[in-house]
């Protein structure tokens, strides 16, 4: 089709434009991640809490110890439930804005993001106050007899609510992009051809916005699995998650190889999810 000189000029131009970004990410992101892999095979030096040679797989054996299983399980439940909750809340919102937003679409989309211009910690503490035993939520539920002694703080539900709140925009934005590209006439066509609402949803709407669903889930699932601030602030006594165990190993200077090995396990999860996604969600991300 095109001459090879043309293709290579285009290739050169594209790579020239991408070079600054590539350098920055290479030095300040890829190199650090590679170092984490190296750290994960290092021997623990208890004296100065530093990772030193010789190489060993001890950190991985410790990380995969059954003692950590409940923590892994809890983390996966938090991350999975958060992703599902974000989908359930985000899809109707994204669809509504794209389909019925009219000339206010941009404003409505911006309105989704405005709350995030305040301190994340302040918002989490606001939820803390709202979910408290004497808080507004429990008081209002009390009017209909659904209140709970001591409120909803320090429960798994509170953690999932906090995570959902924090990650919702990352679900709404790619879903909105997918909904905006969706040809809404297909829904009418499906109804005209005799499909019901459920059948239309699963056979027409969902395949049409699948790229957005995949992209949004990707942006929520793995980052939520790594979050430790929200479980710490809203969760109960035993709120250790994958992220908080990693954090403990580094912040206390306790065991960098162990923290690194766990970070590598999370990176493996990232790579697995990226492979599973394949190329399908690529144009949205």
Subset of 85-114 contacting another protein (CB under 8 A):
89-90, 92-93, 95-97, 99-100, 106-107, 110-114
Per CB under 8 A, the list member of 30, 61, 193, 276 interacting with another protein is 30
- Does residue 165 interact with another protein by CB under 8 A? yes
Q: How far is the CB of 234 from another protein (least distance, A)?
A: 12
- Among all chains, which residue has been given the structure tokens 């993001």? 113
Nearer to another protein, 65 or 282 (CB): 282
Among 54-62, 64-72, 196-204, 206-214, the segment contacting another protein (CB under 8 A) = 196-204
Among 53-61, 62-70, 206-214, 269-277, the segment contacting another protein (CB under 8 A) = 269-277
Subset of 49-88 contacting another protein (CB under 8 A):
50-51
Per CB under 8 A, the list member of 39, 41, 78, 182 interacting with another protein is 39
From CA 281, how far away is CA 133, in angstroms rounded?
A: 42
Q: What is the CA radius of gyration of the chain?
A: 23
> Cβ contacts of residue 200 below 8 Å, gap of 6+?
187, 190, 191
Per-residue contact flags (x/-) with another protein for residues 111 to 130, judged by CB under 8 A: xxxxxxxxxxxxx-xxxxxx
Give the DSSP letter string of 231-274. HHHHS-S----HHHHHHHHHHT-S-HHHHHHHHHHHHHHHHHHH
- Does residue 189 interact with another protein by CB under 8 A? no
- 14-21's contacts with Cβ under 8 Å and 24+ in sequence apart are none
Tokens of 133: 């035993």
Q: How far is the CB of 188 from another protein (least distance, A)?
A: 7
- Does residue 268 interact with another protein by CB under 8 A? no
C-alpha distances (whole Å) from 76 to each of 103, 211, 214, 226 are 40, 23, 18, 10
- Does residue 246 interact with another protein by CB under 8 A? yes
Handedness of CA 15, 17, 20, 24 (dihedral sign): negative
């Amino acid at each position: 089709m095109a001459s090879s000189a043309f293709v290579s000029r285009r290739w050169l131009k594209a790579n020239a434009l991408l070079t600054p970004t590539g350098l920055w990410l290479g030095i300040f992101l890829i190199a650090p991640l590679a170092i984490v892999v190296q750290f994960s095979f290092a021997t623990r030096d208890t004296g100065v809490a530093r990772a030193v040679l010789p190489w060993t797989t001890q950190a991985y054996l410790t990380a995969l110890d059954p003692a950590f299983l409940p923590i892994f399980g809890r983390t996966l439940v938090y991350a999975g439930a958060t992703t599902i909750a974000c989908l359930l809340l985000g899809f109707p919102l994204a669809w509504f804005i794209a389909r019925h937003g009219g000339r206010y679409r941009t404003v409505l989309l911006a309105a989704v993001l405005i709350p995030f211009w305040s301190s994340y910690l302040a918002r989490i503490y606001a939820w803390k106050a709202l979910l408290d035993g004497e808080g507004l939520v429990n008081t209002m539920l009390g009017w209909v007899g659904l209140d709970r002694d001591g409120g909803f703080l320090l429960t798994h539900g509170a953690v999932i609510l906090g995570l959902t709140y924090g990650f919702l925009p990352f679900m709404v934005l790619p879903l909105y992009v997918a909904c905006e590209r969706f040809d809404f006439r297909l829904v009418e066509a499906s109804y005209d051809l005799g499909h019901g609402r459920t059948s239309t949803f699963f056979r027409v709407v969902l395949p049409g916005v699948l790229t957005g669903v995949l992209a949004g889930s990707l942006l929520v699932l793995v980052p939520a699995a790594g979050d430790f601030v929200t479980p710490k602030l809203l969760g109960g006594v035993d709120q250790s998650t994958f992220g908080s165990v990693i954090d403990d190993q580094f912040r206390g200077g306790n065991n960098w190889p162990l923290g690194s090995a766990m970070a590598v396990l999370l990176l493996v999860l990232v790579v697995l999810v990226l492979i599973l996604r394949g190329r399908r969600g690529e144009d949205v991300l």
